[in-house]
Amino acid sequence: MKFIGSAAKTVFYLKKIQGQYPSWRLQYKIKCKSTEIELTNLIRNSQIKRNQPVAIIAREQLSGFGQNSKTWVSPEGGIWLSAAYPIFSKEFISQIFNLSIGIKICEMLRQENINVSLKWPNDIFFGSKKLIGFLPRVITRGKEIIYVRIGLGMNILNYTPSEGISLSKVLQTKNINQHYWTAKVLKALHDSIECNNKKEYVIKSANKFLTKSFLPNGYCPHTWKIKDIDSNGNLRIQNETQLKVIGRF
């Protein structure tokens, strides 16, 4: 497939970063309501093919949504994308998929000397502020997983709410190449698929990157503390008398 414009620039960096990268099918939107809606429409009209993941990338997203349908502020200057990655397997471990994405993004950023952490189940934090959020889903047919979907937002040069932080503030520069970072994110998504069969490594890495500063909603930090992530990808919290296991769903 011939790429032009923004897609071509991202593919250029993807080749430099990854070499033999999967044959991504990329579409850029100047502005859209939601990349999730755009991806759904694309998949409805075009069959998912083996070895050809798809990503819709928007410069600006008007009505993005995240976990529990929360509003996803997506102004110009960030990376807003939705991807579908073909799996076609019964062996894919869906319970740790969010963790495999999280650890690969953490590894990617730490290689750039950006000291991030994983906020269970699907956020990447720099200090006390959110840098990246992602929303993974698994699409099945019977017992076979056909493909996975990932919605992702990364603050780069954009305005952020008080609870967020942009990469430009982290690095203290506005000289940031968004196409380079988009390619880095796509590589991390690919790597998260590749490591899915290494459950022990994923859980161990997730615990290494896990921040214990943010309890799930509804739990008092004066009473409860985060213990760890268990072997099934669940978060374990404890107080003086109880150990509680919290699933992602």
Distance between CA atoms of residues 38 and 105, nearest Å: 24
Q: What is the mean pLDDT of each run of 10 residues along the chain (249 residues)?
A: 68 80 86 94 89 93 68 86 96 96 98 97 97 96 95 96 96 96 96 96 98 95 97 97 91
Distance between CA atoms of residues 234 and 203, nearest Å: 10
User: What's the pLDDT score for residue 165?
Assistant: 97
The whole model's pTM is what? 0.93
User: What's the pLDDT score for residue 1?
Assistant: 46
Architecture of domain 5-212: 2-Layer Sandwich (3.30)
185 with 152: CB under 8 angstroms?
yes
User: What's the pLDDT score for residue 20?
Assistant: 63
19-50 burial: b if 16+ Cβ within 10 Å, else e: eebbebbbbbbeebebbbbbbeebeeeeebee
Please say whether the dihedral angle defined by the alpha carbons of residues 99, 103, 104 and 106, taken in this order, is positive or negative.
Answer: positive
Residue 11 has a CB neighbour count (10 Å cut-off) of 20
59 with 29: CB under 8 angstroms?
yes
User: What's the pLDDT score for residue 21?
Assistant: 64
Domain layout of the chain by residue ranges: 5-212, 215-249
161 with 130: CB under 8 angstroms?
no
